[in-house]
Each structure stands twice: as structure tokens, then as C-alpha cells.
Amino acid sequence: MPDPAAPPYSAGVRRAALPITTFMQAASSAAVIGPTVAAPLLLHNLQLGPAAVGVFVALVYLGAMFATQIGAFAVHRWGPIRASQAALSCSAAGLLLLATPLLPLVALGAVFIGLGYGPITPASSQMLARTTDPKHYSVVFSIKQTGVPLGGVVAGLLVPPLAALGGAAAALVGIAALCAVAALSAAPLARELDRERHPTAPWPSPRQVLAPTRFVAGHAVLRAIALCSFVFSIVQVSLTSYMVSFLTGDLQWTLVAAGAALAASQVAGVVARVVWGFVADHRLGPRRVLLGLALGMAACSLLMPLLTPSTPAPWVITLLCVFGATAVGWNGVYLATVARLAPPGQAATATAGSLFFTFFGVVIGPPMLGAAGAALGALGSAFALLALPLAGGVWLLARARWT
């Protein structure tokens, strides 16, 4: 789906593109992470066990896998702003369904959240690729991707007090309202950023839906980067999805304390994404940065079983912050590399195809970690098993030839 050459944009739009895409990314991320923070209350209401968290995450990202592919076509047809607004509306609807006491509607709500989450990144990549100097891609994309851990910060700090005031449903409605505000905030940019859209472009046939994935699979370097993202996403979403359950279950922390710890780890991820982007652009290059992050994730995962209820809280939070800085900090460098290597006008398509691999890791990772935690009797021991797929990521990066 080749796009026309990007016309010049006003200085105001170029300045606003980064904060607006970051805000939309944060709201979309909060829609995914918020229910996992409220998981102890939701699971009690639905009479389900902790392994259901993994099923929820799998449903979210199963929807996201395919929505990402269609998202590239939606960006082409509607423009990145309108596509993002439609996605945030879908996430808000999913959160409202999740607030119901009916299990079928809860499952449908998880899928809706995923359908909304999928198109956000391809749309924002298209916006930033057209408004950013390529030599600053890693830093700018890393700043935008701080929206993912920022969403975790919002969820960790907002959900527990809202749940204490009005239950899990009130917390979910609050996150849905955040999605609506983010969608409205992007409206002033639509006139310029959506002017290259093609309203009469046809929707994809079943074969065309996976065209972005085939595009990435046929590009050797993009394929290697996408496979690394498959591994890293297993670790990232397993950590964010099960951290609260791990702290409240294995370590016997309160929900408020666990939410604060999640927020702290996500703040570490926010800072780290910018730092890793700068280092990738100006010091080591993206491949070496990603290799170092893979080794850091593996070390943190192996240390998780050593945490016990008697471990001092500062030690626990320190480890979780280091884990967050590595497991949450890689995305900006990864997406910037995809955008830089994509042919001109194909940033959204290359990003969508790469994210199919990323989201597939999320679909299979958390359910497997939840099952391992149930079998081993402790989520901490299950976290240590993440070192196995990370070894594969280290191997891919160590033998790669791109810089």
C-alpha cells in the first residue's frame, strides 16, 4: 500500500504530533493494563482463579494481532488521527463490557480492548515518520513509546483508589473516560495529518489482511527484529500482567502497595525508553542496545524467585524497577528501527507486520506463565522460566549483522 509523498506540515502540527501520539498510546495502554491491576477484585466477582489473567491478556492481544493488520488499511483509508480515534473508542467500549458481571461479555470486552489497541502504534508510527527527522527516530519513537509504561503508571495509581471508592466497575469506567479524552485531544490535528487519506480505498480481502506480515517476513532484517520482539513481548506483558497478582499473592502485599510498585516499575520504563533511544541513536546503535536489554531481562527473571514476603520492600521495588527498565524499555528502539528500515511511505505497513509477531508473543506468553505459576505454586518461579525464550532473543541479536 504505497502512500504518496508526505506534504509539508505546519510547525504546530510537527510540535504536537509527539505529545498527542504519546497521550493516545498511554490511554490505550491503560485500557490494557487497568483490568490486570483490578484483577483481584474482578476475579473474585467472576469466581475465577489467577490463571484467568493470562486468558484475558491472550484475548486482548489476539484481537490486537489482527486489528494491527487491518489498522494499516484503516490508516490508509481514514488517516492516522481518525483511525486512532476509532481505536480508542473501541477500547473504551471494551472496558465498559468488562465492567459487567457476565463472563461472555467480559470475554467480548477483552477482544474489543485488543481491537482498539492494535491500530494505535501503526497510526502513530505513520504520523511520526512523516513529521520527524530520521536521524532522531530512536529518541522520538522512544519518547512516544513511553506512553505504554505511562499507561501502566496511570493504571497503577488510578485503579486502586477508584476501585476502593466504587469497586472494579468504577475503575474501568474511569479508564474508559481517559480513552475518550485522548480521542478528543487529537481532533485538532486531523485536518493536516489525515489529508493524505484515501476514503474510497477498499477494505482488505482475507488474503490482504496479512499482507503487512508477509511484507515483514520477506525482509530479512525486519524479520529478525520482529522475532526478537516476539520474545521481548512475552517478557514485558507477563511482567505487567502478573506483577500485581505476584505481589498480592506470593509476597502478600496489599492491592494499593502492589499498584504503587507497578507504577514505580513503569516509571522506570518511561525513563529507560528515552535513555535507550538516545544511546541507540548516539552511542551503541540499536542492535547492541537490544542485546544488552535482553541480557538484563534474563538476569531479572532469574532473580524473581528469590523474593519472599520477608524481603525488604526497597529491594523488591529496586528489582522490579530494573526489570521494568529493561522489559518495558525496548519498544522505542525496536519501532524506530522498523520505521528507519521500511521503504518510503511504508512505515505503517512495516510496523503493522512487525507487531503481528510482537502480539503473537503476548498471546501465548501470559497464559503459559499463568499455567506455569499454577503448576509450580508460585508466580516467582514461573518468572524464572522467561530466561528460556530470552536466550533465543540473545542468540538472534548476537548473530545479527545490522547495526
For the segment 257-306, what is each residue's pLDDT rounded down to a tens digit? 888 898 889 889 888 888 888 888 777 888 888 899 999 999 999 999 99
Gap between the Cα atoms of 30 and 175, Å rounded: 7
56 close to 168: Cβ distance less than 8 angstroms: no
Gap between the Cα atoms of 363 and 163, Å rounded: 27
Mean pLDDT, rounded, for 166-170 = 86
Give the least confident one: 55-64, 105-114, 137-146, 160-169. 137-146
Confidence of residue 47 (pLDDT cuts 50, 70, 90): confident
- The closest alpha carbon to 104, from 165, 164, 41, 59, belongs to 59
Gap between the Cα atoms of 53 and 43, Å rounded: 8
397 close to 77: Cβ distance less than 8 angstroms: no
What is the reported pLDDT for 252?
87
What is the reported pLDDT for 338?
83
Gap between the Cα atoms of 54 and 196, Å rounded: 39
Alpha-carbon separation of residue 84 from 151, 179, 194, 343 (angstroms) = 16, 11, 11, 23
Region of 384 please: left (phi>0), alpha (psi -120 to 50) or beta: alpha
End-to-end alpha carbon distance in the chain: 27
Topology of domain 11-195+207-399 in CATH is Growth Hormone; Chain: A; (1.20.1250)
For residue 214, the tally of other CB atoms under 10 A from its CB is 13
Mean pLDDT, rounded, for 24-48 = 85
For residue 305, the tally of other CB atoms under 10 A from its CB is 17
Average pLDDT, the chain: 84
Confidence of residue 2 (pLDDT cuts 50, 70, 90): very low
Indicate the pTM of the whole model. Answer: 0.72
What is the reported pLDDT for 337?
80
What is the reported pLDDT for 91?
94
- 309 φ/ψ angles, rounded to the nearest 5 degrees: -60, -25
